[in-house]
Structure 1
């Protein structure tokens, strides 16, 4: 047995992983505070519909208060029905594409983030961009922010995404791995016409050298109405159900190395690349909600072990996965509940803190790096092999 009690846990980043960790720690009786670089006035472009399989769903069940978990369930959507493969003229090629695990649910990333954030109150502070940190001889770690303020705790967790400031300071030799791809993503409000493109768990459209992926985000209940009933006072804007579409820009296209920023340019790029495709597909892209269109380079990164200390990582900050694996959020949320469990053991005096953090790191790296490998393998379904890869 060791001395009981773990001091405050500092979480850097209010994404899905960091917020799930905060809920899990609160539930375990630990002190936690989350610091987020965004000012809280808007929503980051981070994608739309994601599929939560059992690891992610189990993490939410284990972490959230009942009323918030009920709201997650109410605002999720089904992931059942056929996985369709079409050519660019919507000729059906298959109805048996691999899809989500049985029991998976579709959630909107921003809706889920609002639910998680709304349940933490003043445990989250916005406008705190991390500049660096230092471990003290007294067994503390201090985070230093760009606005000149500091925060001190017993543990600091980097949950600040693929471009993690925590990781860059903790393991500076580990960088992003460029996939040589650029992705364009958008969402288009569901109509009967567009819903026919995605009647089941997902649709893949294969054109000459290009793949367009479609996913349906059909809320069981409209999120603002569900929130008003189940969690009065939670800030939740009105949301239409939508079709999420993603196109991977071919590596040889100039846009693959120049991600750009203008939403209109991103949409026009997709329309250029699917010139001559079926009108329903072109109109789907043309009718996009422009606030939800984005274009970005695609990276991943496995993670080697690092010396165990009072600073650790979770989710994309540690093991950045390609979206083709569909497991980034699930893995991050699983990291969160595993880390919470180890910290709770230390808090109860069942093991010392560094032993708990070491056990978490070993488990997290094994699962996380497996998720990175899975994403690389899954990418082959969407991107034709390059000439050098066929030798």
Structure 2
């Protein structure tokens, strides 16, 4: 007995990793994405992928796409620096990702993950509802009036997951009372000196600025043209990513707004008097990639086991301070893929497998949520300690 068709709602990193793994395992899969196309909105900044996540990509992706991940990724070796606001070195041993981890750009990685899936991915499919019937199928209903039917549905639709609201409508986001302002600035020698290694933290009075370098091993569009001809990959400059957590008492913490220039000016106002290199870093940002948003997380309780399950942020939304959201989602994808492949080979029974997957997902995912909360204390001690 095969597992049948798997419907994946959400074309983020976790959902696309799952789709590739299922294709490789010979399982029928379709992905439904709410966005109108792959480039409709920004998909984040630099992230660090630990060795287990890199191994998931190696096992899931076609060789040429995995090679593209490798050659475009950047190093996370070197010191982790802690500065004060005038760039006085306070420590050269700041905790960070393991040396074997790799820096990847989230948007570039998503473009790579979309490669070779072709018409298995459908866009402008905003989930309106879903039903499970007694015959062993799940039907997804989309806002455009279309439907899709399969034997399993996986909610990989992010922190505001519609699938999660159907499974556990009582579970909401947990507000951290913080707002993050963020951006990326094209690299120069001057700005790279601020981040010579795996990451830099700048501690000012009541404010923390986090810096990370995304220095591509090869420029992504050039590498894609050689390694994966036909893959849609826009040109991307290497950059320094910066993130500032707005203090809870600041008006922007509760009213984050949307204006990109407002976000940059907010950061410049908060770091007034800081070292000129830091102010110029923010001032020189790529304005297409500046923004701010509220910071949430959410642990997840169990839900009734059936043919609908969750993956990644849809199940366990973690604070960015933990740096483990994408890594955890990829582990979810690998474990769910392996389990569904066993069902497809007739080795295990579907509902039993999904129940075991849920237990594992919640144990690992909720631990990742807690790790993010504890890590937040490095950035905002008083706020994190009170949660």
How far residue 41 of structure 1 moved from its aligned partner, in angstroms, is: 5.7
- 2:166 maps to 169
Answer yes or no: is the 8 Å Cα contact 2:220–2:233 preserved in 1. yes
How far residue 42 of structure 1 moved from its aligned partner, in angstroms, is: 2.3
User: Does the C-alpha gap of structure 1 residues 388 and 197 become closer, same or farther in structure 2, counting only changes over 3 Å?
Assistant: closer
Can you list the C-alpha shifts for 1:134-176, whole angstroms capped at 9, x where unaligned?
0011100000000000000000000000000000111101110
- 1:259 maps to 256
- 1:48 maps to 45
Distance 1:162 1:118 in 2: 24
TM-score under structure 1 length normalisation: 0.97
Distance 2:385 2:100 in 1: 39
Distance 1:103 1:377 in 2: 23
Distance 2:152 2:282 in 1: 45
Pick from 225, 230, 238: which aligns with 2:227?
Answer: 230
Distance 1:174 1:255 in 2: 26
How far residue 379 of structure 1 moved from its aligned partner, in angstroms, is: 0.2
- 2:178 maps to 181
- 1:17 maps to 14
Answer yes or no: is the 8 Å Cα contact 1:10–1:153 preserved in 2. yes
Q: Does 1:293 align with 2:290?
A: yes
How far residue 388 of structure 1 moved from its aligned partner, in angstroms, is: 8.2
- 2:5 maps to 8
Pick from 334, 337, 341: which aligns with 1:340?
Answer: 337
Can you list the C-alpha shifts for 1:58-111, whole angstroms capped at 9, x where unaligned?
110110010000000011000000000000000011000011023100000000
Distance 2:122 2:34 in 1: 9
How far residue 275 of structure 1 moved from its aligned partner, in angstroms, is: 0.5
Answer yes or no: is the 8 Å Cα contact 1:43–1:110 preserved in 2. no
- 1:112 maps to 109
User: Does the C-alpha gap of structure 1 residues 361 and 194 become closer, same or farther in structure 2, counting only changes over 3 Å?
Assistant: same
Pick from 78, 100, 104: which aligns with 1:103?
Answer: 100
Answer yes or no: is the 8 Å Cα contact 1:84–1:204 preserved in 2. yes
Distance 1:226 1:46 in 2: 20
Distance 2:248 2:40 in 1: 29
| Deviation beyond 3 Å, 4+ runs, structure 1 | 386-390
Answer yes or no: is the 8 Å Cα contact 1:45–1:294 preserved in 2. no
- 1:128 maps to 125
- 1:314 maps to 311
User: Does the C-alpha gap of structure 1 residues 195 and 171 become closer, same or farther in structure 2, counting only changes over 3 Å?
Assistant: same
- 346-355 or 309-318: bigger deviation: 346-355
Note the residue ranges of structure 1 that are not aligned, 5 or more in a row.
none
Answer yes or no: is the 8 Å Cα contact 1:342–1:359 preserved in 2. no
Q: Does 1:201 align with 2:201?
A: no
- 1:27 maps to 24
Q: Does 1:219 align with 2:227?
A: no
Answer yes or no: is the 8 Å Cα contact 2:305–2:351 preserved in 1. yes
- 2:266 maps to 269
How far residue 384 of structure 1 moved from its aligned partner, in angstroms, is: 3.0
Number of matched residues?
A: 387
Can you list the C-alpha shifts for 1:16-52, whole angstroms capped at 9, x where unaligned?
0000000000011100000000000624233200000
User: Does the C-alpha gap of structure 1 residues 386 and 160 become closer, same or farther in structure 2, counting only changes over 3 Å?
Assistant: closer
User: Does the C-alpha gap of structure 1 residues 282 and 368 become closer, same or farther in structure 2, counting only changes over 3 Å?
Assistant: same
Distance 2:155 2:137 in 1: 16
Can you list the C-alpha shifts for 1:228-248, whole angstroms capped at 9, x where unaligned?
000001111111100000000
Distance 1:131 1:389 in 2: 37
CA RMSD of aligned residues (A): 1.2
